[in-house]
Structure 1
């Protein structure tokens, strides 16, 4: 899990990433890149993912978020980057997560984000949100850094939270265990999670992590 300071330093490159995620995927290239790297083992999982995307293209947004959230929560196992990638912080593409069959909270959220954009959900309806997640119900319980994906039916609507920690999608008001820090999407970085607020000016800093993710996603077949 990346530090919040480190993530803020690279968010000004987010629009480049979303441009890749929002383009039509080349399924043949994606499958080829997947099997070249991971062999045939993840093919069934890839075909299931492709079916979710294709079915989602003709579905309502409510069905899209339900199917995509359920797919990744069922198909991926949670594991820290140090275990999966042997490094402290790695932002995996959806194909890398499918190939490994596991990832951390960022990987779950990124995979859902890419996939929902592929099904046709408008980019402005989605935000990745960094939160502090309470690890217990007692007053003063410790918290840990965590990422979730939010869906806004309308700009001023209460967001629906997609999370790898729980299977069901809940309104933000029913997730008192999550304390928002900031949110972001293709428009930029937001100080809170209110759908109607304007994005803050982009940050500055090293862009290597996002540039690397963009390069890997394009090489896989996300146009």
Structure 2
């Protein structure tokens, strides 16, 4: 997908993106604990879960992930964002949920995504989100953003999810995406129309009624992911 032309922070693209995300409409109750998904894990349980579900092939990828966490501990923020984005974009093959799981709109845990070696946009975003939290990026600076993505120069759009990093809650996010490999400010992604965003602490939604996307229905899938993560060794 070609990169859109550069826009300044005061450009209409930034205002459009931020307006599309609207304001905080739901707080708390979206994570394991009041503070959301904790940046902790149990390596032994994760290895056992991966071995049971995916065998030695899955374990090999999990060990690469552990090595990534060790290597990036204490690294500069931009380095952590770039390396985590690249790790999943290179190791996970995009595939529809119906082909991967046998039914529509299944959200995988990071362990399941690594074990399968494939997933869709939600799976990329969740894996990057959890990994960056494990690397010390504050959860309030990260949101999964549900968008309509325009394909090429056509008017055809498809549902899509990206991960955003926000310096402050009202700032323009940097977008981590599996469609475009480079991390770019949202104002440069004129192909994305944001609908709502969420993390473990809240839900932000705009006033658009053009999409059939139901934020609360998506959050039920998020809670299901969190439950499975806890069972697998993310604590």
Kindly indicate whether the alpha-carbon contact (under 8 Å) linking 1:130 and 1:183 is maintained by their aligned counterparts in 2: yes
Partner in structure 2 of residue 24 of structure 1: 40
Counterpart CA distance in 2 for 1:67 and 1:206 is 27
Kindly indicate whether the alpha-carbon contact (under 8 Å) linking 2:39 and 2:130 is maintained by their aligned counterparts in 1: no
- Which sits farther off after the overlay, 153-162 or 60-69? 153-162
1:213 partnered with 2:213: no
Change (3 A) 1:206 1:123: closer
Q: CA deviation at 1:52?
A: 1.4
TM-score computed with the length of structure 1 as normaliser: 0.82
Matches of residues 135-214 of structure 1 in structure 2 within 5 Å? 135-138=151-154, 141-192=155-206, 209-214=221-226
Matches of residues 27-42 of structure 1 in structure 2 within 5 Å? 27-42=43-58
Matches of residues 58-97 of structure 1 in structure 2 within 5 Å? 58-97=74-113
Kindly indicate whether the alpha-carbon contact (under 8 Å) linking 1:161 and 1:170 is maintained by their aligned counterparts in 2: yes
TM-score computed with the length of structure 2 as normaliser: 0.78
Change (3 A) 1:116 1:181: same
Residue segments in structure 1 that go unaligned for 5+ positions in a row:
1-9, 193-202
Residue segments in structure 2 that go unaligned for 5+ positions in a row:
1-25, 207-214
Kindly indicate whether the alpha-carbon contact (under 8 Å) linking 1:13 and 1:211 is maintained by their aligned counterparts in 2: no
Matches of residues 121-132 of structure 1 in structure 2 within 5 Å? 121-132=137-148
CA RMSD of the aligned region, Å?
2.4
Deviations 1:172-208 (A, max 9, x none): 111100011111123311125xxxxxxxxxx867975
Which one scores higher on RCO, CA 8 angstroms, separation ≥ 6? 2
Counterpart CA distance in 2 for 1:83 and 1:11 is 34
Structure 2 SS opposite 1:158: coil
1:53 partnered with 2:65: no
Counterpart CA distance in 1 for 2:167 and 2:217 is 32
Partner in structure 2 of residue 101 of structure 1: 117
- Which sits farther off after the overlay, 203-212 or 151-160? 203-212
Deviations 1:107-145 (A, max 9, x none): 00000011110010000110110100001214xx11111
> How many pairs were matched up?
202
Q: CA deviation at 1:27?
A: 1.3
Kindly indicate whether the alpha-carbon contact (under 8 Å) linking 1:20 and 1:218 is maintained by their aligned counterparts in 2: no
Q: CA deviation at 1:100?
A: 0.3
